Amino acid sequence: MSAQRDEELYDDINITPMLDLAYVLLVIFIIMTTATVQGIRVNLPKASATPSLAKPQTKAITITADGTIYLDTYPVSMAELKSRLRQYKAANPDLPVVVKGDADVAYKQVIAVLAMLNELQIHRLGLVTQRLVK
């Protein structure tokens, strides 16, 4: 009698794992087909190889750990920095400036640059920092 009872337990097929597999395959199929659709292909025009005559508006002042001051990528003294920024300010009254000070630079030098920018009435100012990684 127990042998007959064991056969009754396995008469029905459990379709839940098959449905799970079908749903997983359906999701993979949907993801793969939407990933391959990237829009309409067009042949974009090529830009000329000549550099643009307009320079970027934003000026970057960098102060390195040894105290060297750079305007964009050129080393300058405080007097040169002031005269060049005065010229840029005359050409563009809304001149944006970013200041990048090395973490090891003397705080006094950064304050001197900020005071000079305030004296020139450059108010669009940004201080560049590094994102803190947690």
Residue 26, Cα to own-chain centre: how many angstroms? 35
Looking at the structure, do residues 123 and 65 belong to the same domain, yes or no? yes
Residue 70 CB-half CA count within 13 A: 12
pLDDT score for 25: 93
Q: Please identify which residue in the block is written with the tokens 């669009």.
A: 124
Res 125: pLDDT: 85
129: pLDDT strictly greater than 80:
no
Do 31 and 65 lie in one domain? The reply is no
| Contact criterion met (CB below 8 Å) for 92 and 58 | no
| Pair 18, 71 in one domain | no
pLDDT tens digits, 64-111: 888 888 888 888 998 998 999 999 888 888 888 888 887 777 778 888
Nearest-Å Rg of the Cα atoms of the chain is 33
Name the DSSP class of 46. Answer: P
In this structure, what CATH number is given to the domain that contains residue 69?
A: 3.30.420.270
Least confident of 32-46, 50-64, 95-109, 114-128: 32-46
Q: Are residues 69 and 122 in the same domain?
A: yes
Residues 69 and 118 grouped into a single domain: yes
Into how many domains does the chain fold?
A: 2
Which has more pLDDT, 5 or 60?
Answer: 60
Establish if 103 belongs to a structural domain: yes
Same-domain status, 68 and 120: yes
For residue 6, tell me if it sits in a domain: yes
Neighbour-count burial for 57-80, b at 16+ CB within 10 Å, e otherwise: eebbbbbeeeeebebeeeebeeee
Residue 75 sits in the same domain as residue 31: no
How would you class 89 by CB atoms within 10 Å of its CB: exposed for 0-12, middle for 13-18, buried for 19 or more? middle
> Which runs of consecutive H residues, i.e. helices, occur in the chain?
2-9, 16-36, 78-91, 107-119
pLDDT over 60 at 33, yes or no? yes
In a domain, 48, yes or no: no
Percent of the chain scoring above 90 in pLDDT: 10
- pLDDT of res. 107: 78
Domain holding 16, by residue range, is 2-36
pLDDT of 9 over the 70 cut: no
Do 71 and 32 fall into the same domain?
A: no
Average per-residue pLDDT in the chain? Answer: 78
Per-residue pLDDT, averaged over 47-64, amounts to 68
